[in-house]
Structure 1
Amino acid sequence: VEDGPAGQATASKPGEIEDPSGRALDHFFEALEKTETEGGQTRVCHYGDSPITNDGITLTVRRKLQLRFGDAGHGFILIARPWGWYSHANVSHEASAGWESDPISISRGDRLYGLGGVSFTTNRAGVTASFGTTEEGDTGRSVSSFIIHYLKQPGGGDFEIYMDGTAYARVSTAAEDTRSAFHRVEVPNGPHKLTVETVGNGEARLFGVVLENGGRGVQYDSLGVNGAYIGLLANYIDPDHWFEQLRHRRPDLVIIGYGANESQFERLPMDQYERDTKEVIRRIRTALPGVSILFIGPMDRGARGAGGAIITRPMIPRLISCQRRIAAEAGCAFFDTFTAMGGEGTVDLWYKAKPKLMGGDFTHPTAQGAEIVGTLIYDALIEAYEKRK
């Protein structure tokens, strides 16, 4: 098949999922169909960069999937806010001061960042984080279990669990070896609030909490990290640790949505970028044989050009072409967000729109813009799902 703009296969139309193999999303679609017809749950892990750290794009995809297939729970949330704008919708989430956050980055540490790419530690007593249902909206109003993701380690401290304000359990994070650990708290299905509070008898290291609803439906984890790029998952998270996290979570679909940060480097070494992308695919499939993988290409990202005009960054089409080719060669699906939202010059139009659809950094969409992008992704997934049925 000949390539069109930005390497787009002419057999696909803008806004459609591209899958030359015809099988890349089979596992995900089989899970969705079982959820729709028999009950059960479908899980999605969506990895990405800062445009999803406020849950804007992912909120829309999650909500629409849950309204269609059922609300099986919000999914994974980081323990605290590593960035001021980190937030999740349709859930309550609070954290006290005292957590030291360590987002995945180029570092020489132990590279244990949990499912969501951020580790939180404290030696202090009385440091808290709370998670619960929401009283508003059409999703997120019930929960049947909370799963606390933390690290077992030598000398690890304890944390207390409170359920709806009442002491529930005390958990020790001490162990002879260092490994991922998960503590499940079951509750009657309904509105609840879980709080963890550190005891201060050693370092407590936590990653996040999953909210599950026992009924049929979809869980959708928004796993965005500020400044993230594909190379971090390939080189700067311990692979065995990441395997533990993914295998415990058991997603039916892993979405990889990077490119915004890579696009600022016009001399980005594409050979290294390709090696890193293939390594991430290999790691995911090592942890989760048979899982569906979907690459979501970057949105249009703008910069000031000659005369102050807002232009598309030149690396965006190159990254999209590379992602599309690697996805096709590896049997993964691909969604071209850039073309679906309008292609070259979209940032200029979105920034000048009333109300604005793109922020002044020409990178992060407004709430209205994020809803448009999330709807494009949801519509593409559903169209491909319905064609398969």
Structure 2
Amino acid sequence: MNLGGAGAAVLMLGMQSGTEVPYVPMPAPEAGASVCPKGICGVEALEGVFEALAATEAGTRDRPVHILQIGDSHTAGDRITGALRARMQARFGAGGRGVLPPGVPYAGYAPMQVEMTATDWPMRTDVLARGVMPIGVGLSGGEADVSDGATLTITAEPNGAFDQVQICGEAWQADGELTLTAGAETQTMGFAVREDEASQPECQTATFDKPQTQIDIRPTGRLKLYDVRLTRRAAGVQVSNLGVVGATMQDLALRDSSIAWLELAAWTPDLIILAFGVNEGFAPNLDPREYELWLRQALMVVRSMDAPVLILGAPEGLKPGTVGPCGGRSAPEALAVVRDVQRRIAAELGVAYWDWYGRMGGDCSAERLATLSEPYMRPDRVHFTSIGAEWIGGVLSDDLMGAYDRWTVAQGEAD
């Protein structure tokens, strides 16, 4: 077959390698309009974390600004929080990876900045609302029950380097300890059973002489562990993500408050972000009054340290098997109810509220984002793709940093 002129040119173009025709991503969608000014209602509630960030920029703070996000699968996946972490650390410096679950919570778990591998290290993650409330579940929503021969290895990227490790847990039945090996340094943590043979949760800290990027944790005796925190003795930002797949605000409210308060006292968060709502919105027969009670109770748990709180309003989600205006699907009516309760209670209690639903585009935005030539949402119209999570995490970061910049300008004018 003879191809001349334009036909030959088309054939040659099709034969070019990927390096000759570089991939160019599609432009990201614009953030949607919000019911909140610049995306955040009650922004004055965030003054405490703004003061911490300002002290970091001024060079007068010697510890990380700790942002702690607790939520469902959107948080567990760490792609949204990963975008927030990367942007915040690029501006204010890296302050360590932050809090992690006390093991590998599920197959395919892949947090940003670190890799976790476990050997003979069983861990359970309970979605508390699905059954009887278990004893001893803190803010990570999980518990590792470990003994001799187990090993947990955490390997960090350079931005996740750490020189302190905090672990909250307790001995079980008899005294136990953890051996922490990082590089050439080894530290131990002892957990004791009281004279009345009762165990009691406690948080221990190991300090290393120089920043590390890998640690092996090995138990002696039987221990129950609730979390692991990798941090720095320096200024910067760390963003912790504690998410449980399928979790709801009720699950957070039902966690053991004595462990939760112990953890918060050890972690000293400067901002607590709550990211729940989709699972409640998809549940049948949501009772708004009952949901409000669980939300209030959850806020009582996390506000024990007087840290600012930011509620991420429930995002858009579409339900399969329904007939509606969004590509043949519709959003569960309860999702809008959840958002209304969240925003009302946030305003009543002096808590900030981010309009996730509005910023991702409002009605039918899940359908639009899922059907882009480069999809920003998965086919389920509930979860974001990697690029979509990075985008919406960037929108959240931009809204927070925009509010911070406006606050700093106002402070300068007041002075």
Q: TM-score, normalised by structure 1?
A: 0.88
Which secondary structure does the structure 2 equivalent of 1:306 belong to?
coil
The 1:350/1:97 distance shift into structure 2, 3 A limit, reads farther
The 1:265/1:115 distance shift into structure 2, 3 A limit, reads closer
Give 1:164 deviation, angstroms. Answer: 2.3
Say yes or no: does 1:50 pair with 2:73.
yes
Moved more, 58-67 or 110-119: 110-119
In structure 1, the partner of 2:100 is: 77
Moved more, 253-262 or 154-163: 154-163
Alignment deviations for residues 35-82 of structure 1 (CA, whole Å, 9 cap, x no partner): 111233211110110112121110000111111111111101112222
In structure 1, the partner of 2:311 is: 295
Q: How does 1:1-389 map to 2 (within 5 A)?
A: 9=35, 12-13=36-37, 15-19=38-42, 23-37=44-58, 38-40=60-62, 41-106=64-129, 107-108=131-132, 110-123=134-147, 125-134=148-157, 139-140=159-160, 142-164=161-183, 167-169=186-188, 171-175=190-194, 176-199=197-220, 201=221, 203-234=222-253, 236-285=254-303, 287-289=304-306, 291-304=307-320, 305-306=322-323, 309-389=328-408
Give 1:220 deviation, angstroms. Answer: 1.1
Unaligned runs of at least 5 residues, structure 1 = 1-7
Unaligned runs of at least 5 residues, structure 2 = 1-33, 409-415
| Separation of aligned partners in 2, 1:114 and 1:47 | 11
Give 1:351 deviation, angstroms. Answer: 1.3
Asked whether the equivalents of residues 138 and 256 of structure 2 are also in contact (C-alpha less than 8 Å), the reply is: no
Which secondary structure does the structure 1 equivalent of 2:139 belong to?
coil
| Separation of aligned partners in 2, 1:273 and 1:57 | 25
Q: How many residues align?
A: 367
| Separation of aligned partners in 1, 2:192 and 2:149 | 16
Give 1:339 deviation, angstroms. Answer: 0.6
Alignment deviations for residues 312-334 of structure 1 (CA, whole Å, 9 cap, x no partner): 23222221111111100110000
| Separation of aligned partners in 2, 1:85 and 1:298 | 25
Over the matched positions of the two proteins, sequence identity in percent amounts to 25
| Separation of aligned partners in 2, 1:216 and 1:161 | 24
Q: Which has the larger radius of gyration?
A: 2
| Separation of aligned partners in 2, 1:102 and 1:120 | 9
Amino acid corresponding to residue 246 of structure 2 in structure 1: G
Moved more, 40-49 or 304-313: 304-313
| Separation of aligned partners in 2, 1:98 and 1:111 | 19
Alignment root-mean-square deviation, CA: 2.1
Asked whether the equivalents of residues 203 and 262 of structure 2 are also in contact (C-alpha less than 8 Å), the reply is: no
Amino acid corresponding to residue 61 of structure 2 in structure 1: G
Moved more, 95-104 or 313-322: 95-104
The 1:156/1:309 distance shift into structure 2, 3 A limit, reads farther
Give 1:266 deviation, angstroms. Answer: 4.5
| Separation of aligned partners in 1, 2:133 and 2:145 | 14
| Separation of aligned partners in 1, 2:335 and 2:166 | 38
The 1:326/1:109 distance shift into structure 2, 3 A limit, reads closer
In structure 2, the partner of 1:5 is: none
Q: TM-score, normalised by structure 2?
A: 0.83
